[in-house]
Amino acid sequence: MNRTRALLRKIGWAIFTILFVIVLNFFLFRVLPGDPARAGIRDPRLKKEAIEMLRVRFGLDKPVINCFESLNPIQLGSCTVNPLDTQFFIYVRNLFQGELGISYHTNRPVADILAERLWNTVLLIGAGQILSIIIGVVFGVFAAWKARTAIDFAAVMSSLLVWSLPTFWLAIILLFWGSNNGLPLAGKATPGSSSLPLLQQWADIGRHMLLPTLTYTIVYMGEYTLIMRSSLMDVLSEDYILTAKAKGLSTFQILKDHALKNAMLPLVTVIAINLGFTVAGAIQIETVFSWPGLGLAIFEAVGRRDFPVLQGAFLLIAVAVIFANLIADLTYNFLDPRVKTE
Looking only at residues 217 through 236 of this chain, which bind another protein when binding is defined by CB under 8 A?
A: 233, 236
- 29 contacts another protein (rule: CB under 8 A): yes
**Out of 73, 191, 197, 303, the residue judged to bind another protein by CB under 8 A:** 303
Within 118-147, which residues bind another protein (CB under 8 A)? 144-145, 147
DSSP 294-322: HHHHHHHHHHHT-HHHHHHHHHHHHHHHH
Instruction: Provide the minimum distance between the beta carbon of 71 and another protein in the complex, in angstroms, as a whole number.
Output: 21
Q: Which of 76, 242, 327, 334 binds another protein (CB under 8 A)?
A: 242
CA distances from 96 to 35, 114, 317 (A): 25, 16, 17
- Min. distance of Cβ 30 from another protein in angstroms? 10
The DSSP code sequence of 142-176 is HHHHTTTSHHHHHHHHHHHHHHTS-HHHHHHHHHH
Please state, as a whole number, how many other Cβ atoms lie within 10 Å of the Cβ of residue 134.
Answer: 13
Among 175, 227, 267, 268, binds another protein (CB under 8 A): 175
53's CB contacts (< 8 A; 6+ apart) are none
- Least distance in angstroms from the C-beta of 336 to another protein: 7
12 binds another protein (CB under 8 A): no
Least Cβ distance, residue 203 to another protein (angstroms)? 25
User: Is residue 333 a contact point for another protein (CB under 8 A)?
Assistant: no
- Distance (Å, rounded) from C-alpha 142 to C-alpha 225? 9
- Within 10 angstroms of residue 277's Cβ, the number of other Cβ atoms is 11
CA distance 331 to 268: 8
Compute the least distance from the CB of residue 120 to another protein, in Å.
16
Shortest distance (Å) from residue 62 CB to another protein? 20
Rule CB under 8 A: choose which of 23, 50, 56, 280 binds another protein: 280
For residue 264, which of 238, 297, 228 has the smallest C-alpha distance?
A: 228
Q: Which of residues 53-112 bind another protein (CB under 8 A)?
A: none
Q: How far is the CB of 107 from another protein (least distance, A)?
A: 20
198: contact with another protein by CB under 8 A: no
Distance CA 57, CA 198 (A): 42
Contact residue for another protein among 244, 267, 271, 309 (CB under 8 A): 244
Region from 43-51, 58-66, 81-89, 238-246 binding another protein, contact rule CB under 8 A: 238-246
- Interface residue with another protein, options 22, 53, 189, 241 (CB under 8 A): 241
Closer to another protein by Cβ: residue 79 or 118: 118
Given 155, 292, 322, 332, the residue binding another protein (CB under 8 A): 322
**Is the four-CA dihedral 129, 135, 140, 141 of positive or negative sign?**
positive
| Closer by beta carbon to another protein, 65 or else 171 | 171
- Write the CB contacts of 267 (distance below 8 Å, at least 6 apart in sequence): 133, 137, 224, 227, 228, 231
Residue 17 near another protein by CB under 8 A? yes
Q: Which of 265, 270, 290, 333 binds another protein (CB under 8 A)?
A: 265
Exposed, middle or buried: residue 258 (CB in 10 Å: 0-12, 13-18, 19+)? buried
CB within 8 A of 319, min separation 6: which ones?
A: 18, 21
**Which residues share a beta bridge with 109?**
102
CB of 277 to another protein, least distance (A): 7
